Structure 1
């Protein structure tokens, strides 16, 4: 069996959905499934890579519109790759990907993993809704991580019979505490003066609430702890959140670490 997962980003780009796609692909490979991935690149160049045994096509990106990468090369590659797959597996929301699937998709079966509604971009959401409804009707199965999504989403309510609750899996082996991890943990703790360390890991987007976390760092309770906040991850709000921390006088108690290796994240 051959399965193609489709989204906007993949490793080493760090994020919850990106990590989930990687876990799914590698797990499928362990079960002798030919797992492939189609995403956009962070540059204008189209590349073909093998990442931990997974064939990944990253098409050149021309621009971003409301956090959605636009890649003209994405569409011919979607058409070409779906010719030879049994299942196309899209991760939503990624409007350019869903539009491409509607127009060019030709896999035998279509599976969608519905991660969230588009909430903040009202205009984009209104334009996107008709295409999303059509794609949901076309899907053979829609995976959601929580039954609440089916009840709360106005899009999923109409296709509830197709929805299946499949919680996100975690590769526990990645979190094994080795002597090297213990050593690195001690080094990281020393970097921050052996103070209590508060940790955030993830993409810096508005719905993650990191702005609220920064406000909490100003509270008396946190100040009494003499804690330090380490933020690991990048995203659209990386610079605005840094500016918020600076304006609040928190730069001595907050560190924006950018992207870290898996080993360092586990150690932290």
Structure 2
């Protein structure tokens, strides 16, 4: 018996692109191909155009002319979706993806479609005025829409219009990838020797919505080290701010780390911080990675999935965004109380195991696939 064919539609894929959505699509491909034949349609990005099998998943990369507001300009995407959409039993759209949405409306595949709604389009407000009618038609065409948290349904003006289609499927990671392997354990003593004393860690792209400019003043009130893992366009201004605040000896920019080094730095730290202050931070998957390592989290109570992941006063603390004092107070509570850190760290690991594993995410998505195919 032939298995149902599912076609994921997005702009990029991991590998090589390291974004959260790209990694999620990769995990979904790996975690659902026991029951479904999985293909992924994306633009070529940094890779050559063409078709290949990547870890058992059929990946189709099409040419593009360039990008506008991060959206690929690709007439070939329309042609490819017409061809591969006709062969699919189910389409899985990933939002935001204006290129894919326009192609979907132009080709109108006969197969039913579902959508993972990763985030609103937040920053490109003027472009959104033009794109809004297309997005509404695509969402109306989907059988089911999968937001990644209940919080986002309440705060998104788009999801509120399609509440009857929504079924929450939280994002997940391979928890075992963050275990304390012998390699990781061997790296930890050197990290603690290099960065002695209480240690706070941030992991993520250094982008406008991450709120690091509010975290740095908070560090002035703490006798602690801050490790910043990641790179991005905000790095030069953040380094300048560190110098201006006189924090150069206690704030360290580590760049992008190999995975084993990332896990070791997380496990060598005392707590994790996510100071994001805008709705562009729709979920905060790096919180889950830290929780998988048994770290308590200090994050912000922005109206997205961020405080859904990190339960206030259970797995850590959630504080007001853009408030260095609130951030400092919460970090101080954790750094000054080892028993509290251990209790919240254990709760964080348990919450990650219960809600945010790759297997739980894939099980939720497979249930939606079955229902959408049954409804045909």
Shorter-normalised TM-score: what interval? 0.7 to 0.9
Superposition map of 1:184-263 within 5 A? 184-190=187-193, 192-194=194-196, 196-217=198-219, 219-221=220-222, 224-225=223-224, 227-232=225-230, 234=231, 238-249=232-243, 253-258=251-256, 260-263=257-260
In structure 2, the CA distance between the partners of 1:80 and 1:60, relative to structure 1 (3 Å rule), is same
Deviation at 1:256, TM superposition (A): 4.3
Q: Distance in 2 between matches of 1:266 and 1:228?
A: 16
Superposition map of 1:59-208 within 5 A? 59-190=62-193, 192-194=194-196, 196-208=198-210
Conserved in 1, the CA contact under 8 Å of 2:147 and 2:170? yes
Deviation at 1:163, TM superposition (A): 0.8
Root-mean-square deviation (Å)? 2.4
Q: Distance in 2 between matches of 1:185 and 1:175?
A: 13
2:20 aligned with 1:16: yes
Q: Which residue of 2 aligns with 1:25?
A: 29
Q: Distance in 1 between matches of 2:206 and 2:72?
A: 16
Conserved in 2, the CA contact under 8 Å of 1:6 and 1:88? yes
Conserved in 2, the CA contact under 8 Å of 1:78 and 1:105? no
In structure 2, the CA distance between the partners of 1:164 and 1:196, relative to structure 1 (3 Å rule), is same
Segments of 5+ residues of structure 1 without an aligned counterpart are none
Deviation at 1:261, TM superposition (A): 3.5
Q: Distance in 1 between matches of 2:78 and 2:208?
A: 29
Residue 2 of structure 1, aligned match among 5, 13, 27: 5
Conserved in 2, the CA contact under 8 Å of 1:43 and 1:60? no
Conserved in 1, the CA contact under 8 Å of 2:7 and 2:88? yes
Conserved in 1, the CA contact under 8 Å of 2:78 and 2:106? no
Residue 45 of structure 2, aligned match among 42, 47, 64: 42
Deviation at 1:44, TM superposition (A): 7.4
Q: SS of 2:48's equivalent?
A: coil
Segments of 5+ residues of structure 2 without an aligned counterpart are 266-376
In structure 2, the CA distance between the partners of 1:261 and 1:51, relative to structure 1 (3 Å rule), is farther
In structure 2, the CA distance between the partners of 1:72 and 1:178, relative to structure 1 (3 Å rule), is same
Higher relative contact order (CA 8 A, sep 6+): 2
Runs of 4+ in 1 over 6 A off after TM superposition: none
Q: Distance in 1 between matches of 2:254 and 2:48?
A: 28
In structure 2, the CA distance between the partners of 1:207 and 1:183, relative to structure 1 (3 Å rule), is same
Deviation at 1:189, TM superposition (A): 4.3
Q: Distance in 2 between matches of 1:77 and 1:243?
A: 41
Conserved in 1, the CA contact under 8 Å of 2:101 and 2:135? yes
TM-score (norm 1): 0.85
Q: Distance in 1 between matches of 2:192 and 2:107?
A: 51
Deviation at 1:129, TM superposition (A): 0.8
Deviation at 1:41, TM superposition (A): 2.8
1:152-184 Cα shifts (integer Å, max 9, x gaps):
222222221111111223322222321112123
Conserved in 2, the CA contact under 8 Å of 1:199 and 1:229? yes
> As a proportion of its length, which structure holds more strand?
1
2:48 aligned with 1:54: no
